[in-house]
Amino acid sequence: MEAFEKLEKVWGGTYGKVSAMEAFEKLEKVWGGTYGKVYRAREKAMGLIVALKKTRLHEDEEGVPPTTLCDISILRMLGRDPHIVRGKRSFDKKKSFGRADFPQGFLFGTASSAYQYEGAVKEGSRGESMWDTFARKYPERNCHSNADETIDFYHRYKEDIQRMKDINMDSFRFSISWVRILPHGKLSKGVNKEGIRFYNELIDELLANGITPLATLFHWDTPQALEEEYGGFLSENITMDFRDFANICFEEFGDRVKLWLTINEPWVYSVGGYDAGRKAPGRASKYMNDAATAGKSGHEAYIVSHNLLLSHAEAVEAFRNCHNVRTTNLDKHMDQTINHTVKMLLINI
C-alpha cells in the first residue's frame, strides 16, 4: 500500500493504467532500486516454478504448482541461479551474503501443510477435515478446487525429500494431519495406525537424508466430526481433544522430532474463518461476507482465538509431561518451541 501511495504522488493516480513491470521500474528510480530488483527476481522465480511443474505435474499445462513446489522452486532460484544471486542486476556484491554469514546451526528449509500437499484424502483410513467439507460444500468459494490430490506428497514424499536435499535444504517443516492420526478427532474413537506409520516413515526418510524435521501440530485442518459435535474451536471442549492429539504425536514422534510448533497462524485461522468468512469454516456476518450462511463477525473470532490459546497451553503441558521427548536438550527444545509459537501468536494477534 505504501508503494502504491508513492506511485499515486509520482504519477497523479494513473498507476492503475500501467503494467506491473512499469510500476516497479518507476519505484526502482524513486526508492533506489529495491522494488525493481524484487520484481525481476519474482519473475525469474515464476519461470522456474513453471518449468518444475512441467516436469512433475501436468506437462501440457502452464501455471504455478502448490505451496511446497513453489517454496522449493524459489529457494532453488535464490540459491542456484547465478544471474539472480550473483549478477549485477540483483545487488551489489559487496553487500551480498551467504551461509557463512549466518550463525552456526541456522536452518535453511522449506515448509507447507498437510492439507496443501498430502492429497490421498480417502486413503490410509484418514478422516474428514473441516477443509474437506468446506471445499466440497462451497466450491464457488474455493475457486472450484480441493485438496483431494494436490502434489500427491503422500505417495511421493521420498521424491520430494530428494529435491530438498538436492537444493541443500537443512530442514523441512511439515504439519501432522489431525484426521490422519485421529480420524474422528477423538482419542476415545480410535488411533489410526496407518497414519502413525506414514509420519514415522516420513520422519525417518528426512533424517536419513540429513534433513531436520520440524512438526506443526495444527495447520487449520480441524476434524469435521468435532465441528459437527460441538462447533470445533468455538467450544472449549476442543482443548482436551487437541491435547490428546498432541500427546499422541509427542509419544509417537518425539524421540526424533525435537522442534515443534503448536498452531500455525492463529490470527489468520480466527479472522479468515470466523470474521471474514473466506477460509474454512467460512463463518461471518452478512455485512462481512454475503456468501456466508452462518456466523457472527466481530464476536466468534475472539472466542476461537481464546480457545486456540488454551489449546496451545494444553499442548505445551503435554510436551513437558511426555517421557518420549525428555532428553538432555529438553529445555533448549522446549524454549524454542514456546518462543516460536508465542512470537507467532503475538505478531498475528
pLDDT at 323: 87
Question: If you search the block for the grid coordinates 496443501, which residue do you land on?
Answer: 116
Catalytic residue list: 265
Question: If you search the block for the grid coordinates 521424491, which residue do you land on?
Answer: 159
pLDDT at 83: 40
Low-confidence ranges of the chain (pLDDT < 70): 1-94, 326-349
pLDDT at 251: 96
Burial of residue 24 (number of CB atoms within 10 Å: 0-12, 13-18, 19+): buried
Q: 205 with 158: CB under 8 angstroms? A: yes
Helix/strand/coil (H/E/C) assignment for every residue in the chain: CHHHHHHHHHHCCCHHHCCHHHHHHHHHHHCCCHHHHHHHHHHHHHHHHHHHHHHHCCCCCCCCCCHHHHHHHHHHHHHHCHHHHCCCCCCCHHHCCCHHHCCCCCCCEEECCHHHHCCCCCCCCCCCEHHHHHHHHCHHHCCCCCCCCCCCHHHHHHHHHHHHHHCCCCEEEEECCHHHHCCCCCHHHCCCHHHHHHHHHHHHHHHHCCCEEEEEEECCCCEHHHHHHHCHHHCCCHHHHHHHHHHHHHHHHCCCCCEEEEECCHHHHHHHHHCCCCCCCCCCCCCCCCCCCCCCCCCHHHHHHHHHHHHHHHHHHHHHHCHHHCCCCHHHHHHHHHHHHHHHHHHHC
pLDDT at 72: 47
pLDDT at 62: 41
Q: Which of 120, 122, 172 is nearest to 150 (CA)?
A: 120
Residue 100 in grid coordinates? 557463512
Q: Which of 287, 311, 145 is nearest to 319 (CA)?
A: 311
Q: Please tell me the number of Cα atoms within 13 Å of 313 on its side-chain side.
A: 8
pLDDT at 223: 98
pLDDT at 328: 36
pLDDT at 98: 83
Question: Does the predicted TM-score (pTM) go above 0.75?
Answer: no
Each residue of 116-125: pLDDT tens digit? 999 999 999 9
Q: Which domains does the chain have, with CATH numbers?
A: 2-96 (no CATH), 109-348 (3.20.20.80)
